[in-house]
Amino acid sequence: MTGRRTATRSTMPADDAKLVAATWAGSRLLLAAILAAIVVSGHGLRAALGNWDVRHFITISRHWYADPLEMAFFPGLPAVMAGGARIGLAPEITGAVLALVCSGVAAAALYRIGGTVPTCLWLIAPTAVFTTVGYTEAPFCAAAFWAWERARAGRWWQAAGLAALACTFRVSGLFLVGALAVMAVVGDGQWRDGRGRDGRTRKARAPKRGLRAGVERIAPLLLPALVLVAYVVYLHGLTGSWTAWFQAQDRGWGRGFTTPQESLANTLPATRTDTWRATYGADAGIVAMLFKLEIVSMLVGVATTVYCLVRRRWASAAWVGVQVIAFSIGHWFMSVNRAVLLWFPLFIALAELTRGPGRPVGLKLLWRGIVAVLVLADLAVMGWWGWLFFTGRWAS
């Protein structure tokens, strides 16, 4: 047992909030440097920050849901952008500032849940650019991660309030409510204590048994569920349809219901350069590459779900697994690369699986060298993904 603890200490840094803060600052500065280079080369700042879905959020912030297709997006972020406009801030800037702040808030929650390494891995994820611009990933993760942390601490009303906030940003709030319900009933198995400094795995607080205790944990989750219901009712009032959100997804992004086999079959042609040559010209190869990565992200999601099931982390398995299922039945695999940012159990699993040897010294140094190379490669991919987004190329 002593040797095992020594090995863990020697390869995993002690929980260090300063390292997390430095990683947050360093990763944001790297993306800011890429943004600055692009702006200097002739792109406007607002243009670089305002690509793809940011345009949809800006449209909603200005005209609300005048276009039925915009109903595919939840109102939380557009409402914040509209508030920024009232004080003279451009919506692209409001979105970027919100993302920067919320990425730090999300990192603080993940640090409490899983410790230093998972948090740093999340901050330098390949698609981290989406936590620095006007997308919903950062504000959603900030609310959702803290909801998870509060639920693990047994503060269910606090968790419900945070989950309700998360539900205003994206439909993933539905999956969050479901996963929290699983936690309320059966818990979330074995976790490393994110605030401990000894690296040992401790059993998370087991939920109290009994009908009354279960109801006391489940009942607060009606609050975020009501937020989702309220959005559906609101859209019904605008359109007369109870399925307005699904219709917008289908008509705007082709996300109708299919089987996983059909979704994979629909995605495979998108991984070929020739499929996109007429639309994207010289960038066709980039689009094809990103759709290949969508399949990789799906496989990562499946692997993470299985890992959590093996470790009996039932709520974590539900959180990732239900998203994987949702992406697998939506015509094709799209936006999964960004959804990986929501899968915090993945980053905890990576930290656990890559601890490496504690001795002898030679193997330990070799492992550290390998990790350093992998981190540099990851940062290069993160920078490349930022370049794609800031220059208006397809970025998933």
- 109 within a domain of the structure (yes/no): yes
Q: At what angle do helices 76-86 and 91-114 cross, to 10 degrees?
A: 130
3-state DSSP assignment of residue 192:
strand
- 200 within a domain of the structure (yes/no): yes
Q: How deeply is 321 buried, as exposed, middle or buried, from its count of CB atoms within 10 A (0-12, 13-18, 19+)?
A: buried
Residue 126: cis peptide before it, omega within 30 degrees of 0: no
* Residues spanned by the domain of 163: 10-390
- 28 within a domain of the structure (yes/no): yes
| Alpha helices for 87-210 (secondary structure H) | 91-114, 116-123, 137-152, 156-167, 172-186
Cα dist. 388→20, 58, 149, 233, 381 in Å?
26, 20, 33, 37, 10
Cα dist. 166→58, 255, 360, 366 in Å?
19, 22, 46, 42
Question: Taking the CA of residue 346 as centre, how many other CA atoms within 13 Å lie in the half-sphere pointing to its CB?
Answer: 23
Length of the chain: 396
What pLDDT does residue 187 have? 87
Cα dist. 162→115, 175, 327 in Å?
21, 14, 24
Residue of 111, 95, 79 lying closest to 15 (CA atoms)? 111
Residues 57/78, Cβ–Cβ less than 8 Å: yes
Tell me how far apart the alpha carbons of residues 189 and 388 are, in angstroms, rounded to a whole number: 39
Element (H, E) at 190: strand 190-192
Instruction: Give the residues across from 192 on adjacent strands.
Output: 201
- 1 within a domain of the structure (yes/no): no
Q: How deeply is 215 buried, as exposed, middle or buried, from its count of CB atoms within 10 A (0-12, 13-18, 19+)?
A: exposed
What pLDDT does residue 210 have? 60
Number of Cβ atoms within 10 Å of the Cβ of 363 = 12
- 254 within a domain of the structure (yes/no): yes
- 88 within a domain of the structure (yes/no): yes
- Which tokens sit at 242? 């109870």
What pLDDT does residue 7 have? 39
- 2 within a domain of the structure (yes/no): no
- 396 within a domain of the structure (yes/no): no
Element (H, E) at 203: strand 201-203
What pLDDT does residue 371 have? 84
Q: Which pTM does this prediction carry? A: 0.89
- The contacts of residue 67 (CB under 8 Å, 6+ apart) are 59
- Which tokens sit at 310? 């093996």
* Binned average pLDDT, 10 residues per bin, the chain of 396 residues: 39 72 96 96 93 96 94 96 96 97 97 94 97 97 98 94 97 96 86 43 53 79 96 95 92 85 94 94 94 97 97 96 94 93 96 79 82 92 97 92
Three-state SS for 39-100 is HHCCCCHHHHHCCCHHHHHHHHHHHCCCCHHHHHCCCHHHHHHHHHHHCCCCHHHHHHHHHH
- Total of domains in the chain: 1
- Which tokens sit at 231? 């959005």
Q: Name the phi and psi angles at 201, rounded to 5.
A: -90, 130
